[in-house]
């Protein structure tokens, strides 16, 4: 059975996000990833429209994975995506893209599980 996953990440980590997706596909996991890469500032005039588009993607998923890189903890979009995911009933999991990164406060606040980049462990955490 395929699990629909919403990926939350910052644009600066896009190369690692692509590698993450590819690795999951190579493991033949039943995960299908969805995201909405945002290049607009959080408080831009397009923010309301962008939030509605992201909300639809989150609603279509049952799990949100926050891919944590160097600057993820600074992103207002990631913070909002975590809050929206919880509001919509998604399971939220943090995945460190490398050692030593700062966990976003929003993940800590919702007591989300945060694990290292290991596809087998991620599949187990998803359930």
Q: What is the 3-state secondary structure (H, E, C) of 65-93?
A: EEEECCCHHHCHHHHHHHHHHHHCCCEEE
Which residues have a Cβ under 8 Å from the Cβ of 24 and sit 6 or more positions away? Answer: 31, 33, 119, 122
Q: How confident is the model at residue 23 (pLDDT cuts 50, 70, 90)?
A: confident
pTM tops 0.85: yes
pLDDT in tens, 28-74: 666 777 766 655 555 666 788 888 888 988 998 999 999 999 999 99
Quick one: pLDDT at residue 8? 93
CB 37, CB 8: distance < 8 Å: no
Cα distances (Å, whole numbers) of residue 97 to 12, 23, 29, 45: 12, 13, 19, 31
Number of domains in the chain: 1
- Cα pseudo-dihedral 34, 1, 110, 21, rounded to 10: -40
Domain with residue 66: its CATH number is 3.40.50.300
The pair of three-digit structure tokens given for residue 79, joined into one six-digit string? 């913070």
Give the domain range for residue 24.
3-126
């Amino acid at each position: 059975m395929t699990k629909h996953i919403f990926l939350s990440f910052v644009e600066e980590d896009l190369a690692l996000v692509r590698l993450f997706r590819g690795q999951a596909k190579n493991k033949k996991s039943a995960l299908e990833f969805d995201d909405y890469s945002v290049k607009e500032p959080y408080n831009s005039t397009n923010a309301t429209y962008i939030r509605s588009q992201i909300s639809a993607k989150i609603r279509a998923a049952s799990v949100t994975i926050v891919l944590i890189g160097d600057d993820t903890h600074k992103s207002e979009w990631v913070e909002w995506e975590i809050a929206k995911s919880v509001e919509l009933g998604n399971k939220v999991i943090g995945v460190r893209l490398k050692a030593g990164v700062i966990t976003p406060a929003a993940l800590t606040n919702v007591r989300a599980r945060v694990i290292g980049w290991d596809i087998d462990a991620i599949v187990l955490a998803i359930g």
